Amino acid sequence: MIEYKAVISKEGEQRFKALESLDEVFLKVAPRIVEWLLKNPIKRNFSTSNRSFYEDLSESYKALKSKRRGSPYPILVDRGVLRDAVMDAKVEEVEGTNPSIIIRPGREVPYLKYHAAGTNKLPKRDPYRLSEEDKQALARIVKEMMIDAINGDIVISIT
């Protein structure tokens, strides 16, 4: 599970108040935000091109996975249960002064929390991880989506 929040500058929020509530605009664009996340950074996290994005597999696990699957990569995919659950996302909208969306896997995967946080034997490999470039791109996309509703410059940061 991951939560993305849009933080709007005070100037943008003041301009916005004349239009409608911030929650309403953000939540209107939320489905498009999720679509972008699933098609871009999250999909990449499950691809073979993610090798430099995560700490590599141990040599013993590479050998085991190669024997079972023909290749040790992609890192986060063995049978595809985790990938399928994450890509079949459920979105929860959280209203408030800082509206947010929470993306949850489509079904429960008990070991997701170990990948997301890491353990003493398993390095952290969060399937919802965003690179700094992803965060900048997402902030730009959210701004572009919301700019129709807010006339003027706004500052959005993604946490």
Alpha-carbon distance values, 136 to 19, 70, 115, 129, 140 (Å): 26, 36, 24, 13, 6
Q: Which two tokens stand for residue 35?
A: 């679509």
pLDDT at 6: 58
pLDDT at 153: 47
pTM of the predicted model, to two decimals? 0.72
- Give the other-Cβ count within 10 Å of 44's Cβ: 16
Domain residue ranges of the chain, discontinuous segments joined by +: 2-158
pLDDT at 152: 46
pLDDT along the chain (159 residues), means of 10: 60 56 69 84 83 87 91 90 90 69 87 92 90 87 71 51
Who contacts 29 (Cβ-Cβ below 8 Å, separation ≥6)? 142, 145, 146
